[in-house]
Amino acid sequence: MGLDVAEFKKRLEAEERELLEGMVRHKKEARESVEQEVRDPMDQVVSSEGAEKEFQLATSDWRIIEEIRAALERIENGTYGFCLDCGRRIDPARLDAIPWTRYCAEDQDRHDRGPGGELPVEPTL
């Protein structure tokens, strides 16, 4: 059974619209957080943390939007659904879960592990 590329295109376009709308909301909320009247140092810290959180969300959303746009380009040029590293078909279940994915699961794991073959360690506080 072939890949329903038209359905994936619709999903990707809808996800892109949703993320762009979310970015507008994040920007507005960050601006409002900064513009609120700050009464004391603690309010200023909370306001600053809120703005930083909204900025991080917008940055994360933008990265996904870039991935979505790259996936839409692959649809247009006929390479959608194929791993950019090995050229094999990406498992349909993987595409269903992450329609903008560039790599098969094996190559994604390799990318996640990095050049030394180790998963990055998350900093602890």
Walk along the chain (125 residues) in steps of 10 and give the mean pLDDT of each run: 87 95 77 59 59 70 94 97 96 96 95 74 58
Cα–Cα distance measured from residue 112 to residue 49, given in angstroms and rounded to the nearest whole number: 29
Distance of CA 84 to the CA centre of its chain: 18
Domain ranges of the chain: 5-82
Which of these, 29, 26, 94, lies nearest to 62 by C-alpha position? Answer: 26
Cβ-contact 118, 111 below 8 angstroms? no
Cα–Cα distance measured from residue 27 to residue 50, given in angstroms and rounded to the nearest whole number: 11
Under DSSP, is residue 51 helix (H, G, I), strand (E, B) or coil?
helix
Under DSSP, is residue 71 helix (H, G, I), strand (E, B) or coil?
helix
